[in-house]
Amino acid sequence: MSNGIPPRFDLPIPDRADIITDNVLKLAEATPNPRLRFIFQTLIKHLHGFVNETDLTTEEWMAAIQFLTRVGQTHTSFRPEMNTLSSVLGVSALVDALNNPVEGNATESTLLGPFYTDDTAHIANGEGIASEGKGEYMYVEGQVVTTEGVPIPGAIIDTWESDSDGFYDMQFSNRSHPDCRGRLQCANDGSFGFRAVVPAPYPIPGDGPVSELLLAMNRHNMRPSHLHIMVEAPGYHKLVTAFFPEGCKYIQSDSVFGIKKSLIVKLEHIDDEGETRKRGFPAGASFELMRLRIVMLTNEQFKSYRAKNAESKRTA
């Protein structure tokens, strides 16, 4: 059935390959939304340019179509294969970087990742996000402040991480409650603290089309250990970020390009049974301490930086 849109003009019948590109671009000019028109025309130019530059064969293009088809067929809410493809090609990290510019001392953003969920437990400052036995003890403490260093009282922190085996709670079929994740509110001085476990590096799924792509490129599929944190406060731009303990062997080759230098943190080893009990850990005599200073942008600051970044792209 026709979609009801009549032909607006007659296109020249192609007798050269470049006329095909010209015709597609001409049709894209009819896109009513100016932003979509720009996106479609730019995509067409680059996609057709890629085909020309590589002198792509019919077999290669069909293989690409079949690959993308399998990516779509593999994709589910628990296995976001299309998101993973975007990530391993660096597109997700690039979009995040362009859309979340910072200046000065503001904390940088990074990828949300596929394992965030609203299904999480509210905890009080100082309580734990991980059940016993999930890994080596880690205590996370810090303060949420403005770019001028003024505390932001009542900021809400969502945090989630993998266990010591590199698994998130959502990956267990017998999951009965949230684990290794929690939501807490900063104190009036912007301070926060919670018990956690030292996160482990883990692989992105190794049994699908994206994994085959990585093997074809001779690339590993590992992510370095990291702790996810999302911070919200009225009047401030929501911050989605993560912190990466230094020393992980994958820290300079993250398979999804999510690391930024400012987000690498040093863990301090505390070997003191009294201090361990004071932090609420039930066993052992030591833990790792992660200290964080999270600097948020106001909504106005973010809009200003975003506009400045967009303008620099236009004039480059």
DSSP letter string, 256-311? T----GGGEEPEEEEE-HHHHHHTT--S-SEEEEEEEEEEEPBHHHHHHHHHHHHH
Asked if residue 8 lies in contact with residue 31, where contact means CB atoms within 8 angstroms, the answer is no
Q: Which letter, b or e, does each residue of 2-25 get, where b requires 16 or more Cβ atoms within 10 Å of its Cβ?
A: eeeeeeeeeeeeeeeeeeebeebe
Mean pLDDT for all residues in the chain: 95
Assess whether pLDDT exceeds 90 at residue 104: no
For the sheet with 286-296, list strands across it.
191-197, 137-146, 286-296, 267-271
Q: Which pLDDT score is estimated for 304?
A: 92
pLDDT digits (tens, 9 = 90+) for 288-304: 999 999 999 999 999 99
Question: Region 195-217: what's the mean pLDDT?
Answer: 95
Over 90: is that where the pLDDT of 313 sits? no
Mean pLDDT score, 60-66: 98
Predicted confidence at residue 8, as pLDDT, reads: 83
Q: Quick: pLDDT tens for 149-162.
A: 999 999 999 999 99
- Average pLDDT of the residues in 112-137: 95
- CA separation (Å) from 33 to 24, 36, 38, 99, 307? 17, 5, 9, 21, 20
Question: Domain-by-domain residue ranges, the chain?
Answer: 103-304
In tens, the pLDDT along 6-59 reads 888 899 999 999 999 999 999 999 999 999 999 999 999 999 999 999 999 999
136 within 8 A of 288, measured Cβ to Cβ? yes
Decide: 241 and 248 in contact? Cβ < 8 Å: no
Tell me which fold the domain 103-304 belongs to: Protocatechuate 3,4-Dioxygenase, subunit A (2.60.130)
pLDDT at 316 over 70: no
Q: How do residues 40-51 score in pLDDT, each as one tens digit?
A: 999 999 999 999
> pTM for this one?
0.92
